[in-house]
Amino acid sequence: MLSFLSVCLMGVASVSAQNPDDFENYADTISDPLVSNSLQEIQEEESLVSESMDSLMQVWYVKDAINDAENSKSLANQNTPVFFSDSIYEAKLKKIPTTFPLVYNQKVKEWIEMYIRQGKYYIPTVLGLSKYYFPRIEEELDKNGIPLELKYLTVVESALKPRAKSRAGAAGLWQFMYGTGKIYGLEVSTLVDDRFDPDKETVAACKLLKDMYEVYGDWALVIASYNCGPGNVNRAIKRSGGKTTFWEIYPYLPRETRGYVPAFIAVNYIMNNYEAHGYKPINVELPMYSDTVMISKKLHFGQVNGVLGISMDLLRDLNPQFKKDIIPGDIKPAALRLPADMATRFAELEDSIYKYQDSIFFAPQNQLAYQNAAKPNANARYSDPEPCDNSIPAGSSKLIYTVKQGDTFGFIANWYDVKVTKLKCWNNIYSDRLTVGQKLSVYVPTMRLNSYKNIDNMTFDQKQAQQSNNIVAQQSAKGNKLDPNYEYYTIRKGDNLSTIASRYPGISDADIMKINGFTSNDVRRLQIGQVIKIRRKK
């Protein structure tokens, strides 16, 4: 597997079983001229770092974060990079909790200082992305008994950019080659490339790393083999006379791999000491909480965008494995990842979403045009098949809603019984970003104006409770008696007790079972449209 190191800034580390001085003394005895060319190699890599940063800076959510006035304050504001002495670098490395002895030597120093020189925008961006990707990666590593430090492989391989593709054809966060991906169960077709799916590729990477550990029994050699392949590592071991540690076989490894391990050590340093150099994570606009819905029919991202109002850019970044914006669920059921609050909304409107302009998105004469327009280009923007409809329904009156902490377009649209697309169009908004204090225009039926007027002054819990009150009123109209002292919920398609509980802070699925007196069999028999208790009103 070839590394993405040649086109990205960050490097990832390996481990040494030796003392730093052992490596320095050993390197002095080697006649291989490449060993003494470390500074030249760093300089060559540094010229490629600029290319990588230019590429990363063009990703829409990164540009938005960097251009945001509030986030711009988080970037390093300095004309001259901050460098330290060797003793400080070494001391800080020793304080990092890791299963690897993080060797410090001249090679590692050169990598650390290259990152510091080049990292004004890059380091804050990677730090911001790590908050989104690392928890998911760490969970899978921990489940497989793999040291959590190996998450940094994704930094060197792809700079945490899930659509990254190297010149050699490696793809995704973990940069799997086509053949390796196939071996480890990653589907690659015209429409789908599982190498771009962060979760699926992480599962495959864990399998590969465990396989390599069974061969070498040493995580340093595992990391080296991840970069250049076990064949090159085996040849280096043989050429060294049977040595079995990374630093002993260092001179016999491919040039790129010789830089890979020192770079990994440097990444450990940077990711754990960035504040000392004036860096802070930027707020990358990706939803921290998301959920998946199963797709069993052919579906285009444009249909989801048209009904739910989720931007095409966000859909692509949550689901980078779908290369043409098309989910071939009719061939094989697939998971679509959505912001958590939109997953339930999708279930509610599933039939409408599948039907939305399907004759346009999947018309034979338009199919090729839509596929070409939907190539996963970070700079590309999707054009809606029809203009934004900002028309105001007859018999409507205008209200102003002030955005509060924790609000989303999905919540606001539900409270006012309008579509997300309408809400965005009325306010000339084309992204999913909301700012606390922002004013939104909403149009509601004049006959029900009084029932909507107070929403702007309610707390989040009160707005959610009002929905529950509406359920009670509807059930009463049908002759079903519900206790008005409780909050209720009507089960919808795709719901389970866990997803329902997630809507109500402090409530678990066990709480819902207890308050309704449900047994496990009762839970299995829950039906769409059934009304259940959530909690007693405050």
pLDDT digits (tens, 9 = 90+) for 20-30: 232 233 233 23
Amino acid (1-letter code) at residue 323: K
User: Residue 313: how many CA atoms within 13 Å on its side-chain side?
Assistant: 18
Predicted local distance difference test score (pLDDT) of residue 216: 92
Look up residue 29 and give its two tokens. Answer: 């005895």
Give 47-83 pLDDT, tens digit per residue.
445 455 545 544 545 555 555 534 545 555 555 678 9
Both tokens of 148, joined, read 């959590």
Amino acid at 100: F
Which residue(s) pair with 294 in the sheet? 335
309 bridge partner residues: none
Residues forming beta bridges with residue 440, ordered by sequence position: 401
What percent of the chain stands above pLDDT 70?
Answer: 74
- Segment among 160-174, 377-391, 506-520 with least mean pLDDT: 377-391
Q: Using CA atoms, how far apart are residues 65 and 358, in angstroms rounded to an integer?
A: 34
Token pair in block for residue 190? 């015209």
Q: At 487, is the secondary structure helix, strand, or coil? A: strand
pLDDT mean over 162-177: 88
Looking at the whole model, is its pTM more than 0.75?
no
Token output for 39:
């500074």
Of 100, 94, 41, give the one whose Cα is nearest residue 257: 41
Residue 293's pLDDT is 93
